[in-house]
Amino acid sequence: MALSLRVRYLVNPGPINRNVTSLMAHGKTEILTPDAAGIARVADLLRAGQLVALPTETVYGLAGDATSDIACARIYEAKGRPRLNPLIVHLPSSGAVARVAVLNDTARALANAFWPGALTMVLPLRDGHGLSPSVTAGLSTVAIRVPAHPAMRAVLAAFGGPLAAPSANPSGRISPTTAAHVLAGLGGRIAAVVDGGPCGVGVESTIVAPGGSGTRLLRDGGIPREAIEALTGALVSDMTPGRVEAPGQLSSHYAPVAPLVVNSPLDDPGAIRVGFGPVEADLTLSVNGDLTEAATNLFAILHEADARAGRRGAAAIHVAPIPDTGLGRAINDRLRRAASR
């Protein structure tokens, strides 16, 4: 098939974990564009069990065939992700979701309101679901999202099956919101990345588990808690760091390399200062104090602050206080995790 003429390559910088025998066939990562040729190439790679990082409206995801044991094994290996931390499955529609999982009334209402979009639901698996057991790390539930990003939707249509796609970062590192972030973390370890530009939402999806006795909130994210509660009533917060049920919620999950301080008055000139609102700083999440803009910028600013801290030696990153409401909850959650080492 036609390979996009705009394909470029990044040479393998070496394995993350030298003790792991590599399953990777590729020493190079193709950089593809989300045009017809690029999408067709992605579908071919996915059918061959390879991994492709794809833009979504939240963050870039590391996609592999969710029905393939080998593709799922490659995802865990490429990220250096603990095998007990299950993956999110991406599907094109609520109808496709209903073929692999069971939706109760609350789940259906949430699907109607927020899909396609930045909501992930943890749902009971349906018999005959066809997913690789390693997607769910052996659990009887599966985390599912119907994404809105046109490139991701085009790939889902061309591939025609469920895609497992955790965030496309090495485990424990900041999530990627650009193709350059993906390549900095995983270049050479994955077959390809589709460069769809920066992600609009900028933080990962909100994760909920709609149950018989109320809906539990497992992760704050791109859909504000308040918007979900308008439909479900009060959510039961269930985000204890390190819980087995949502092991991705480990406290240091989003750590940058440099030490990070939250709720800082930004009075240490030796630090890389990240502002919010009209304050003096080296970088700003949003000069107008806009939480949506701050969420969009969050990971790119943390990547940039980390790079600057590295260039200046042992400097820390200090971040101004962010209001703990709406998208501010997801931002503060990611900052707290990044600060926890």
Which residues here bind Mg ion, judged by CB under 5 A? 167
Based on the shown chain and the rule CB under 6 A, indicate whether residue 42 belongs to the binding site for ligand TXA. Answer: no
3-state secondary structure of 164: strand
Closest CB 143 distance from ligand TXA, rounded Å: 3
Based on the shown chain and the rule CB under 6 A, indicate whether residue 207 belongs to the binding site for ligand TXA. Answer: yes
State which amino acid sits at residue 16: I
Q: How far apart are CA 166 and CA 62, in angstroms?
A: 6
Piece in contact with ligand TXA (CB under 6 A), picked from 95-103, 140-148, 180-188, 266-274:
140-148
Based on the shown chain and the rule CB under 6 A, indicate whether residue 142 belongs to the binding site for ligand TXA. Answer: yes
- Residue 88 binds: one of ligand TXA, Mg ion, none (C-beta under 5 to 8 A by kind): ligand TXA
Q: Cis peptide before 170, with omega less than 30 degrees from 0?
A: no
Closer by beta carbon to ligand TXA, 83 or else 312: 83
What's the token pair of residue 99?
């073929």
- The residue number with the shortest CB distance to ligand TXA is 248
Based on the shown chain and the rule CB under 6 A, indicate whether residue 85 belongs to the binding site for ligand TXA. Answer: yes
Based on the shown chain and the rule CB under 6 A, indicate whether residue 205 belongs to the binding site for ligand TXA. Answer: yes
- Residue 85 binds: one of ligand TXA, Mg ion, none (C-beta under 5 to 8 A by kind): ligand TXA
Residues in the chain: 341
Residue 124: CB partners within 8 Å, gap ≥ 6? Answer: 101, 102, 140, 141
- Residue 246 binds: one of ligand TXA, Mg ion, none (C-beta under 5 to 8 A by kind): ligand TXA
- Residue 49 binds: one of Mg ion, ligand TXA, none (C-beta under 5 to 8 A by kind): none
State which amino acid sits at residue 65: D
Closest CB 175 distance from Mg ion, rounded Å: 6
Compute how many residues bind ligand TXA; rule: CB under 6 A. 28
Q: Which one among 129, 145, 149, 337 touches ligand TXA, defined by CB under 6 A?
A: 145
Q: How far apart are CA 6 and CA 37, in angstroms?
A: 10
Closer by beta carbon to ligand TXA, 228 or else 320: 228
Residue 284: CB partners within 8 Å, gap ≥ 6? Answer: 274, 275, 276, 301
Chain centroid offset of residue 31 CA:
19
Based on the shown chain and the rule CB under 6 A, indicate whether residue 88 belongs to the binding site for ligand TXA. Answer: yes
Q: How far apart are CA 223 and CA 225, in angstroms?
A: 6
Residue 326: in which H helix or E strand, if any? none
What's the token pair of residue 7?
């394909």
Q: What are phi and psi of 45, to 5 degrees?
A: -60, -45
State which amino acid sits at residue 328: G
Based on the shown chain and the rule CB under 6 A, indicate whether residue 131 belongs to the binding site for ligand TXA. Answer: no
Based on the shown chain and the rule CB under 6 A, indicate whether residue 238 belongs to the binding site for ligand TXA. Answer: no
Binding site for ligand TXA (CB under 6 A): 56, 58-59, 61, 85-88, 120, 122, 136, 139, 141-143, 145, 165-167, 204-205, 207, 218, 245-249
